Chain A
Amino acid sequence: MLNKTFNKIYDTDIGYSFFNSKIAMISSAVLFIIFLCSIFAGVVSPYNPFDPASVSLMDAFTPPSWSEGGSPSFILGTDQQGRDMFSTIIYGSRISLIVGFASILFAMILGVFLGVTAGYIGGRYEIIVMRVTDVQLTIPSILMALLVNGIAKSVISQSMHSEMAIYVLIFAIGISEWPQFARVSRASTLVEKNKEYVSASRIIGLSNVLIMFKHILPNILRPLLVIATIGLALAIITESTLSFLGVGVPPTTPSLGTLIRFGNSFLFSGEWWITFFPAIFLIVLALSINLLGDWMRDALNPKLKIR
């Protein structure tokens, strides 16, 4: 049975491309492992670094286990508060992934909805939506996220800050990313709108809503998927940048970016591992997603000839 499904997938163009691309397979494998670790963080990481009981200042600044002064109980060493680096990285990546996924999901739903409706309905509605998209596209995402974050901070009272911080962050990054979804969905919708199967549905009187979401939407998913993947990488990088700058997730639930910020102060005094390992992890994460997205873009592009 499994063999049969495998053969069926291998037979499709995408399946073939996937199983023949070492890069695609390795990236997906890496990502898969990271996802699993994040979900089962409690099980995978040897310690819970955010449980104050399990952390002791005595263990602070322990270098990685393979270098002088290191200990096997802290594989990658500990940070300035005695937390195990390996565990903090796992928990940190969980936050990074959650924020990344949630914000892209938000951006996608908002962007696709606006893009498809704008492309299909046209008229003034389309003009307005596209103007907003254009204006926002000239503003880089980082700036957008910073602004929204900054505004939100001053609007929400101090006490609510920590609780709301993650939601605000997700909202901020999502708002900064929706225009590209809108733009691509609209362009694809315009192309599909002129195809004759849409005319056929309009002739029999099918409602516009049904046409948009039952007929057109499934046909524009491919390019959206590519953007979503690359956008995910961008979202994760944006989040870590914001956290690094100090305006991202609250320090109580640090993401990889926050960890890098923590370690930055100790870089020049010799405790390089506090910044190094989270940085490496972040790079691997972003790289895998980008590689996967790149492969997807080539595999799903009907214009590139098969070689």
Chain B
Amino acid sequence: MIVVAFVSFSLFNFVGDPVNSMTGIDASYERQAEVREILGLNDPVYIQFSRFLGNVVQGDFGISYQLKREVSDLIAERMPATLELVFVSALLAIVIGVILGVYTGIHRDSFVSNVILVVSLAGVSLPTFIIGIMLIYLFSVILGVLPSFGRGEVVQLGFWATGFLTVSGLKALILPSVTLSLFQMTYVIRLVRAEMMEILQTDYIKFARARGIKKNAINYKHALKNGLIPVITITGINIGTLIAFSIITETVFQWPGMGLLFINAVYFVDIPIMSAYMIMVAFIFVMINFIVDITYYFIDPRIRLKEEAS
């Protein structure tokens, strides 16, 4: 985390001239000096960095160069949109991914499995934005059943504006979340399938068969439990990737989330937003990693009991 903060900070400080961007190129020399003083840019580096950290911890990310608003406000506004989108996509990707992955792993050569695999291959080869465009074209332009942009109506719950509670909100959620989840889903399918195939060839499965354990019990109890372990790690990384890919999806669907905010920031070289986004995202990643580690601890007895003498 510290590393990320430092990188953010350096961005903030050394990259480009923030004063210029804020006050406009043709502001007078005195005005620039004034702003510099206010922003404290004349202080030595380590003071600036600690001030930066202090600010960050309090949630103060500074002011956007381009939009001239408090970055923290902007982020708070947009976060629910992204998080809801990511959550639904993650759910789709993992649930469907695991189900299909297990199926294709167990029924290796069936026709249905092969079809699933071919389709999953398409998921990996199609860039997210193309999927998005295609879906928009199909469902919005040709069929006209689903909206092609925006979030629909939202209901305000405290500071969180949710789209779950309205029909239009839910409708608007469908295309973007399917688009976003497709790439991950195919990845999960392939991973689970590979795991299941490998597990089904292990000695302990063979031994279970030799003991006469029924096929279903072997597939869905013995093999599955072992096969789900890597899925947990993947889930962690999944969420991270989804947040990243949401940038693309939000762009294609004009979904008002953090991703869209970030992409515009990159375009306009709006440093405060960029660094704030980086910090937020890094924070989320670290939290997720932490949760994954803890979950591992509870699920795999080998790790849990490592400290006990054997």
Contacts and interface: CB of A to CB of B under 8 A. Distances in A.
Interface string A113-144: 00000000000000000000001011111110
Interface string A282-307: 11001101110010000000011100
A interface: dominant SS = helix
B248 A241 contact: yes
A191 interface: no
Interface in A254-282: 257, 260, 264, 267-268, 275, 279, 282
Q: How large is the interface on B (under 10, 10 to 19, 20 to 34, 35 or more residues)?
A: 35 or more
Interface stretch (B73-81, B167-175, B236-244): B236-244
B122 A287 contact: yes
Contact of B129 (A137, A140, A260, A294): A260
Interface in B161-207: 197-198, 201
Nearest to A146: B266
A246 B122 CA distance: 24
A226 interface: no
B199 to A, nearest CB: 12
B133 A247 contact: no
Closest 10 pairs between A and B when the two form their complex, measured CB to CB: A140-B244, A286-B125, A143-B244, A287-B125, A150-B266, A140-B241, A154-B16, A237-B127, A154-B15, A138-B285
Interface of B: 3, 11, 15-16, 121-122, 124-130, 133-134, 137, 141, 197-198, 201, 236-237, 240-241, 243-245, 247-248, 251, 262-263, 266-267, 269, 271, 274, 278, 281-282, 285, 289
25 contacts: A138-B236, A139-B240, A140-B241, A140-B243, A140-B244, A140-B245, A153-B266, A233-B125, A241-B128, A241-B129, A241-B248, A245-B263, A260-B130, A260-B133, A275-B133, A279-B130, A283-B130, A286-B125, A286-B126, A287-B122, A290-B121, A294-B121, A303-B201, A304-B197, A305-B201
Given A154-B271, A241-B127, A267-B141, 20 more contacts: A139-B244, A140-B240, A140-B243, A142-B245, A142-B248, A233-B125, A244-B127, A244-B129, A245-B129, A247-B266, A257-B127, A260-B133, A275-B133, A279-B130, A282-B127, A283-B125, A286-B126, A287-B121, A287-B122, A304-B197
